[in-house]
Amino acid sequence: MKVDNKTVLVTGASRGIGRAIAEEFAKNGANVAFTYLSSVEKGQALEVDLAKYGTKIKGYRSDASDYAAAEQLVTEVVADFGNLDILINNAGVTRDTLLMRMSEEQWDDVLRINLKSVFNLTKAATKPMMRAKAGSIINITSVVGLMGNAGQANYSASKAGILGFTKSVAKELGSRNIRSNAIAPGFIESEMTGELNEEQLKEWTKSIPLKRAGQGQDIANACLFLGSDASSYITGQVLVVDGGMLM
């Protein structure tokens, strides 16, 4: 699963899953461009941390949900790195509440940040990838996009939308040697799950055959596979990384 000298762009990489993905690619020889928005200090610290791997690293403060900003970001990445081989759409938020209490703003925010950002970056990235006649697009969705979840109608809808988008892009761009796949994480330990108490964590892990929560590294490993030439005949697929929760 070598990615030596390939350039990867990871959105929302200042913490959690995104940070683990960026580090895994840098560790395996890739040049890493990544974005952050509100977590400025963490984004700047990540740029310093990843430099130890000896590849080219650069962080960009950019809003993936802004169409013009996404276009400008890809233009800058290609200018700075010379190419763009792998795009990982990871940026996302939650605004959880029951549908009867959900505001229009909560709905719009989640769809804009989680789904529109995938459209924005993918559309921008396809231009350099089509010129190179190669590329791998990896969209981070969620198991709730497959099964739904009470209190997450907005989040589930955004993640389900990513699935349809991923498959459509795979059909459109396959003839150009550009692959499009999605990864659906299950219960992954993060800052968000850190807010759960011990009893809640036990309830979650009971439903997982492997009897543990996943780690950011588990998602990073899947991304490395789909970004590398080891998966060169895989496109339009959804790789569920959930410890067997959806079986």
Torsion (CA) 202, 208, 213, 215 in degrees, nearest 10? 180
User: According to the annotation, is 58 in a ligand binding site?
Assistant: no
| 86-89 sheet: strands from edge to edge | 57-61, 31-36, 7-10, 86-89, 135-140, 178-185, 238-241
160 marked among binding-site residues: no
Q: Say if residue 28 carries a ligand binding annotation.
A: no
Write the burial class of residue 35 (CB in 10 Å: 0-12 exposed, 13-18 middle, 19+ buried): buried
Measured between alpha carbons, how far is 202 from 204 in angstroms, rounded to an integer? Answer: 5
188 is known to lie in a ligand binding site? yes
Closest of 129, 61, 117, 69 to residue 89, by C-alpha: 117
158 in a labelled binding site: yes
Strand partners, 7: 31
Q: Does 159 belong to an annotated binding site?
A: yes
SS3 103: coil
155 labelled catalytic: yes
**Residue 95 marked in a binding site:** no
Owner of token pair 């990867």: 8
Catalytic, out of 60, 67, 155, 233: 155
Q: Does the annotation place 12 within a ligand binding site?
A: yes
- Known binding residue 157? Answer is yes
* Catalytically annotated residues: 155
The annotated binding site is made up of 12-15, 90, 155-159, 188
The annotated binding site for NADP(+) is made up of 12-15, 90, 155-159, 188
